[in-house]
Amino acid sequence: MVIQPKIRGFICTNAHPVGCAVNVQKQIDYVKQHGVQGQGPKNVLVLGCSTGYGLASRIVAGFGYGANTLGVCFEKEASETKTATAGWYNTAAFHNKAKDAGVYAKTLNGDAFSNQMKQDVIDIIKADLGKIDLVVYSLASPRRTDPNTGEVYSSTLKPIGGSITTKNLNTSKRIIDEVTVEAASDDEIANTVKVMGGEDWELWIKALKDAGVLAENFITTSYTYIGKELTWPIYGHATIGKAKEDLDRATQVIREMTADLNGEAFVSSLNAVVTQASSAIPIMPLYISALFKVMKGDGTYEGTIEQIYGLFTDNLYAEERRFDEGGHLFQNYKELEDSVQQRVQQVWDSVQTETIDEMTDYVGYHNEFLHLFGFGFEDVDYGADVSPLAEW
Q: Which amino acid is at 4?
A: Q
Q: Are 278 and 288 in contact (CB under 8 A)?
A: yes
The span from the CA of 134 to the CA of 44, in Å, is: 5
Q: H/E element holding 181?
A: strand 175-181
Of 137, 153, 235, 365, which is the active-site residue? 235
Regions in the chain scoring below 70 on pLDDT = none
Instruction: Compute the distance between CA of residue 297 and CA of residue 101 in angstroms, rounded to an integer.
Output: 36
The number of helices, as runs of H, and strands, as runs of E, in the chain is 12, 13
Q: What residue numbers does the annotated binding site for NAD(+) cover?
A: 48-53, 74-75, 111-112, 139-140, 244, 273-275
0.85 exceeded by the pTM? yes
Angle between helices 304-311 and 52-59 (to 10 degrees): 50
Residue type at position 112: A
389 CB-near residues (< 8 Å, 6+ apart): 78, 80
Maximum Cα interatomic distance, the chain, rounded to a whole number of Å:
60
d(CA 128, CA 108): 14
Binding-site annotation, residues for substrate: 225
Summarised one tens digit per residue, pLDDT across range 242-275 is 998 999 999 999 999 999 999 999 999 999 999 8
**Residues with Cβ within 8 Å of residue 299, at least 6 apart in sequence:** none
Give the residue numbers of the binding site: 48-53, 74-75, 111-112, 139-140, 225, 244, 273-275
The sign of the CA dihedral 286, 292, 295, 298 is negative
301 is catalytic: no
Q: Cα angle vertex 183, ends 7, 252, to 5°?
A: 90
Q: CA-CA distance, 260 to 386, in Å (whole number)?
A: 53
pLDDT of residue 258: 98
As to burial, measured by CB atoms within 10 angstroms (0-12 exposed, 13-18 middle, 19+ buried), residue 37 is exposed
Q: Cα–Cα distance between 98 and 69 in angstroms, integer?
A: 10
Question: Could you write out the DSSP letters of every residue in 264-310?
Answer: EEEEEE------TTGGGSTTHHHHHHHHHHHHHHHT----HHHHHHH
The Cα-based distances of 347 to 140, 178, 225, 236, 301 in angstroms read 29, 16, 21, 21, 17
